[in-house]
Amino acid sequence: MNVLVTGGLGFIGSHTVIALHQAGYTPVIIDNLSNSSEAVLTQLSKITGHSFEFYRGCIGDDALMQQILTDHNIEGVFHFAALKAVGESTEQPLAYYRNNVSNTVAMLETMAKCGVERIVFSSSATVYGDPQYLPLDEKHPISSTNPYGWTKVMVERVLQDYCAANEKMLAIALRYFNPVGAHPSGELGESPKGIPNNLMPYIAQTAVGIREYLNIFGDDYDTHDGTGVRDYIHVQDLVSGHVAAFDVHVKDSGFHAYNLGTGQGYSVLDMVKAFSSSAQTEIAYKICPRRDGDVASNYADASKARQILNWHAKHDLKSMTDDTWRWQTNYPKGLE
Ligand code: NAD
Ligand code: UD1
């Protein structure tokens, strides 16, 4: 089956392209390269021995998308393309609503014209807003604390309403917890442009000497060591969750939401310690004030995905830090 991967040269999309190929699908990629590099295509070929069809362009470009969907007989869309920086979304909300919401609506209209009735959407645990209870299950109330998060809430709403109005439409929203790690080959990983916002790439850049020290945002939370606790999930587990969800629901319709997390929380200091052990080096850090918008703890109840998709995360913390370190040492500045 031919499928389109939007944002397929980005961090999670590129790993999913490999998994889809290995599962027997034929993925075609569209990416506007706003947060990725065409060099990822070479890495994908290196890892799989296969060259993938790639279109440089925007998912909101109706003519281009019609051409791709019809020329390649696309039967499903894995939709990763989005802007994803929380802080930037507060400064430039319109750019986020246009790219993440308006362009997704435009893409759904093009899909409707071409008879494509399946979508897997990259949602986020950010749709749970400030946790009212832990672990977070899919029934937790939906909310957000920033424009990026609201774009995920809005697209989920659009997908639910669209499925309700179109009995053949299938939409699967996968709510990721904290994706980390890299491809075990060391040839593909996350290469954020500029200063990383997220913990794992920041630690990796500190370990390799690009950053002097890690700022730890608060050590006075109500957690086992005072630093924030999150549910880190290896990108390879995340992508196997996409394949499992699509395989299970491919003949279904309606809206389905799943948490993709491990259910296990680790603190910032746990992550520093695990990374130090993988990199065999001390990671310098300073304790700083709390970051606005952060909560003490956040982790998943992933039992719905286990029961219905027969999926669970298999990679432990050591493989998350080992794989990130291998990628970071191979490509300290990312792919250029
Ligand atoms: P990423 O930035 O590495 O990948 C997104 C890709 O989409 C980039 O290659 C970018 O160039 C492309 N893109 C953006 N807008 C586009 C457009 N209009 N048309 C075509 N291409 C476009 O991000 P990622 O970490 O791989 O995240 C993938 C998805 O998962 C995003 O939707 C993100 O919001 C979601 N998500 C990510 C995380 C995370 O921590 N990485 C957590 C939860 C959810
Ligand atoms: C952040 C976003 C979330 C988004 C997710 C994935 C915020 C408030 N939340 O989640 O919406 O879905 O990224 O992109 O931005 N930390 C440090 N020092 C650092 C970086 C992080 O101590 O330099 C700490 C944080 O305080 C937190 C933990 O590390 O306790 C994880 O942070 P991060 O990787 O940014 O993820 P989240 O905040 O969980």
Establish whether residue 103 lines the binding site of ligand 2, counting it when its CB lies within 6 angstroms of any ligand atom.
no
Q: Are 38 and 12 in contact (CB under 8 A)?
A: no
pLDDT band at residue 293 using 50, 70 and 90 as cut-offs: confident
Task: Report the candidate in 29, 67, 74 with the shortest Cα–Cα distance to residue 48.
Answer: 29
**3-state DSSP call for residue 306?**
helix
Q: Give the angle 324-328-333 at the CA atoms, nearest 5°.
A: 140
**Which residues share a beta bridge with 215?**
286
What is the number of the ligand closest to the CA of 295? 2
Alpha carbons 59 and 73: distance in angstroms, whole number: 17
Alpha carbons 255 and 146: distance in angstroms, whole number: 24
What is the number of the ligand closest to the CA of 84? 1
Q: Which residue has the tokens 């432990």?
A: 316
Q: What is the pLDDT of residue 209?
A: 94
Establish whether residue 174 lines the binding site of ligand 1, counting it when its CB lies within 6 angstroms of any ligand atom.
no
Q: What are the DSSP calls for 47-71, one per residue?
A: HHS----EEES-TT-HHHHHHHHHH
Residue nearest to atom 28 of ligand 1 (CA): 80
pLDDT band at residue 333 using 50, 70 and 90 as cut-offs: confident
Alpha carbons 5 and 88: distance in angstroms, whole number: 25
pLDDT band at residue 191 using 50, 70 and 90 as cut-offs: confident
pLDDT digits (tens, 9 = 90+) for 204-263: 999 999 999 999 999 999 999 999 999 999 999 999 999 999 999 999 999 999 999 999
Q: What is the pLDDT of residue 193?
A: 82
Tokens of 312: 């669970």
Q: What is the pLDDT of residue 61?
A: 98
**Which residues share a beta bridge with 118?**
170
pLDDT digits (tens, 9 = 90+) for 48-76: 999 999 999 999 999 999 999 999 999 99
pLDDT band at residue 137 using 50, 70 and 90 as cut-offs: very high
Q: What is the mean pLDDT of the chain?
A: 97
What average pLDDT score do residues 129-151 get?
96
pLDDT digits (tens, 9 = 90+) for 95-124: 999 999 999 999 999 999 999 999 999 999
* Structural domains of the chain sorted by starting position, each given as residue range(s) with its CATH number in brackets: 2-180+232-262+299-313 (3.40.50.720)
Q: Identify which of 151, 230, 262, 324 to mutate to test ligand 2's pocket (most ligand atoms within 8 A of the CB).
A: 230
pLDDT digits (tens, 9 = 90+) for 33-46: 999 999 999 999 99
pLDDT reading at 336 higher than 80: no
pLDDT band at residue 308 using 50, 70 and 90 as cut-offs: very high
Q: Give the angle 23-24-30 at the CA atoms, nearest 5°.
A: 90
Alpha carbons 174 and 282: distance in angstroms, whole number: 35
Residue nearest to atom 12 of ligand 2 (CA): 126
Establish whether residue 144 lines the binding site of ligand 2, counting it when its CB lies within 6 angstroms of any ligand atom.
no
Q: Which residue has the tokens 């500029």?
A: 194
- Which of ligand 1's atoms lies nearest the C-alpha of 31? 21
Amino acid at 77: V
Q: What is the pLDDT of residue 253?
A: 98
222 alpha carbon to ligand 1 midpoint, in Å?
Answer: 32
Q: Are 203 and 214 in contact (CB under 8 A)?
A: yes
81 alpha carbon to ligand 1 midpoint, in Å?
Answer: 5
Catalytic residues: 148
Establish whether residue 54 lines the binding site of ligand 1, counting it when its CB lies within 6 angstroms of any ligand atom.
no
